[in-house]
Amino acid sequence: MASSGLQLLGFMLAMVGLAATIAATNMVEWRVSYDATEDQHRTSKGLWMTCSGRSGGIVTCQLYESLLKLPIEIQATRAVMLVGIFLSSMALIVSTVGMKCTRFMDGKEQSKSTVVLAAGVMFIISGLLTLTITSWYVRVIVESFFGSNKLNRYEFGSAVFMSWAGAILTLAGGVFLSCRRCSKSGSSMSQHNLHTSPNHGSNYV
């Protein structure tokens, strides 16, 4: 029962992490710039489009026209985030097959444990990819902030924090799913010792 609850907790954490990662990938506020001299003019740049407008006014957004003209940090972040989303999506399907609360592969406990372990590893890889590329993107923004003039300075926006949260939740879910196999092995060993210890004791009576 405990291992099944641990599986369910890991699955839920990973699913929320995937949703947060998808939301962060589609958000525009990866980097933002404020200009107080022009009626609070604000510019936001995401992985797919850029938006600009004044505070309380109409905001206009425009999709990036050419992939090759984009900065390397946007191209790399977009690619790695999509890979992470794909891995997490596949891991959700795989973990559904191997979880104890599902009826898939009934009677094959060892196979189900291996499937869940594989799903957990996929979640961990996805979380590490998202965490690494987001941190690198933030580093690029910080270096650009201190290396450019005041009129072209950008700060990292709310999408960065959403991406970090998604990465951490995905990592946690993967760890819980992977550790379930270890806990099962430990419990099986302890049960084996309990069954064998009376037999050893009976030899001395």
Q: Please report, for the chain, the start and end positions of each structural domain, with discontinuous segments joined by +.
A: 2-27+71-189
Distance CA 19, CA 101 (A): 22
1: its two tokens:
């029962």
- pLDDT, residue 103, reads 65
- pLDDT, residue 201, reads 45
- pLDDT, residue 2, reads 38
Mean pLDDT of the chain: 80
pLDDT digits (tens, 9 = 90+) for 94-106: 888 877 666 665 6
Residues of the chain under the 50 pLDDT cut: 1-2, 180-181, 183-198, 200-205
Q: What's the topology of domain 2-27+71-189?
A: Butyryl-CoA Dehydrogenase, subunit A; domain 3 (1.20.140)
- pLDDT, residue 203, reads 46
- pLDDT, residue 109, reads 66
- pLDDT, residue 204, reads 39
pTM above 0.85, yes or no: no
DSSP 146-202: HHS-GGG--EE-HHHHHHHHHHHHHHHHHHHHHHHHHHHHHHHHHHHHHHHHHHHHH
Q: Which of 188, 136, 200, 198 is nearest to 163 (CA)?
A: 136
- pLDDT, residue 187, reads 44
4: its two tokens:
């099944």
- pLDDT, residue 189, reads 41
Distance CA 177, CA 130 (A): 19
Using the 8-state DSSP alphabet, how is residue 37 labeled?
G
- pLDDT, residue 150, reads 59
Query: Dihedral, CA atoms, 96, 116, 93, 168, nearest 10 degrees?
Result: 110
pLDDT digits (tens, 9 = 90+) for 153-193: 778 889 999 999 999 999 999 998 887 445 444 444 444 44
- pLDDT, residue 179, reads 77
